């Protein structure tokens, strides 16, 4: 019962380029979160956007949310090799005791 | 900083063994979660707990049980390990049940032979 689906599954770019990852989901949400996972490690929270917000920024990250299309995007500007990781979106529904519904992730590779 | 620790980074067990994976957090968070992560499948929720001695099944609870006797500790138990339980296991915590950020441990990579 994954909620989110990331697109693309894999993305390969050069340093300095922008990376855009998309996430679609099926049901109404309270918020949507993006996480990053370096190979073989735990996940690290990047940004949370609430259902009444349309855009949010954090450093080189920009997240948009379109609840009418049930989709979100994560933009990483001026990518660096250190941004190489898997990126996951996760959604929070109504009264679900704080559980997240994760997508399958996008593997981003940034070449020096 | 929130610290979430897991008892082992790597674990090798034999089929049929009882396996305990432990997760400890130091921030007095109410909710704790156990996920497993497999290539191409993303993170799947096994069990979670919203209070001491309280637990809820996730999406794939079969073959697993959990224990939360103290607020800071959440244990995942594989009653009789099987090869299809070879996976990466991730523990996470969140302050309350209102859908805030989850804080993850480093993960335990379990191999069942």
Per-residue pLDDT of chain B (113 residues; tens, 9 = 90+): 779 999 999 999 999 999 999 999 999 999 999 999 998 888 999 999 999 989 999 999 999 999 999 999 999 999 999 999 999 999 999 988 777 899 999 999 999 99
Q: Does residue B105 contact residue B35 with C-beta atoms inside 8 Å?
A: no
Query: Mind listing the pLDDT tens digit for each residue in A3-61?
Result: 667 778 899 999 999 999 999 999 889 999 999 999 988 999 999 999 999 999 999 99
User: Smallest Cβ distance to B101: which of A45, A96, A99?
Assistant: A45
Q: How near does any CA of chain A get to the CA of B75, in Å?
A: 17
**Chain-chain contact of A41 with B107 (C-beta, under 8 angstroms):** yes
Q: Does B100 touch chain A (CB under 8 A)?
A: yes
Q: How confident is the model at residue A95 (pLDDT cuts 50, 70, 90)?
A: low
Cβ under 8 Å to A: B residues 65-94: 88, 90, 92, 94
- Burial pattern A26-64, b for ≥16 Cβ within 10 A else e, equals eeebbbbbbbbbeeebbbebbbbbeeeeeebeeeebbbb
Beta pairing partners, B76: B21, B66
Contact B23, B75 (CB under 8 A): yes
Q: Quick one: how far is CA A26 from the chain centroid?
A: 15
Q: Least CA distance to B90: which residue of chain A?
A: A42
Rounded distance between C-alpha atoms, residue A71 and residue A26, angstroms: 9
Say what the pLDDT of residue A99 is: 86
Helices assigned H by DSSP within A47-104: none
How much is the average pLDDT of A65-76? 96
Local confidence band at A98 (pLDDT 50, 70, 90 cut-offs): confident
Which band of pLDDT confidence, cut at 50, 70 and 90, is reported for residue A96?
A: low
pLDDT greater than 60 at residue A91: yes
Question: d(Cα B32, Cα B25) in Å, to the nearest integer?
Answer: 9
Query: Which among B4, B48, B107 is the nearest to A99, CB-wise?
Result: B48
Distance of residue B98 Cα from the nearest chain A Cα, in angstroms: 5
Measured between CA atoms, the residue of chain B closest to residue A43 is B104
Q: Compute the average pLDDT of residues A85-105.
A: 86
DSSP state letter for A54: -
**Which helix (H) or strand (E) element contains residue B69?**
strand B64-70
- A67 CA to centre of own chain: 15
């Amino acid at each position: 019962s994954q909620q989110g689906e990331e697109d693309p599954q894999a993305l390969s770019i050069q340093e300095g380029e922008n990376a855009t990852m998309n996430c679609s989901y099926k049901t109404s949400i309270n918020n949507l979160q993006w996480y990053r996972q370096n190979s073989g490690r735990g996940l690290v929270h990047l940004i949370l956007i609430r259902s009444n917000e349309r855009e949010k920024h954090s450093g080189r990250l920009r997240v948009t949310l379109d609840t009418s299309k049930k989709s979100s995007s994560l933009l990483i500007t001026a990518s660096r090799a250190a941004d190489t990781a898997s990126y996951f979106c996760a959604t929070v529904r109504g009264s679900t005791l704080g559980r997240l519904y994760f997508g399958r992730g996008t593997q981003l590779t940034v070449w020096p | 900083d929130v610290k979430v620790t897991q008892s082992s980074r790597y674990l090798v067990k034999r089929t049929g063994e009882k396996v305990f994976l432990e997760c400890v957090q130091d921030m007095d968070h109410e909710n704790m979660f156990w996920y497993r992560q497999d290539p191409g499948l993303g993170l799947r929720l096994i069990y979670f707990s919203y209070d001491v001695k309280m637990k809820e099944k996730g999406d794939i609870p079969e073959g697993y049980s959990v224990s939360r006797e103290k607020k800071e500790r959440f244990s995942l138990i594989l009653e009789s390990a099987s090869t299809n339980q070879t996976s990466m296991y991730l523990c996470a915590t969140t302050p309350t049940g209102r859908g805030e950020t989850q804080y993850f441990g480093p993960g335990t990579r379990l191999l069942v032979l």
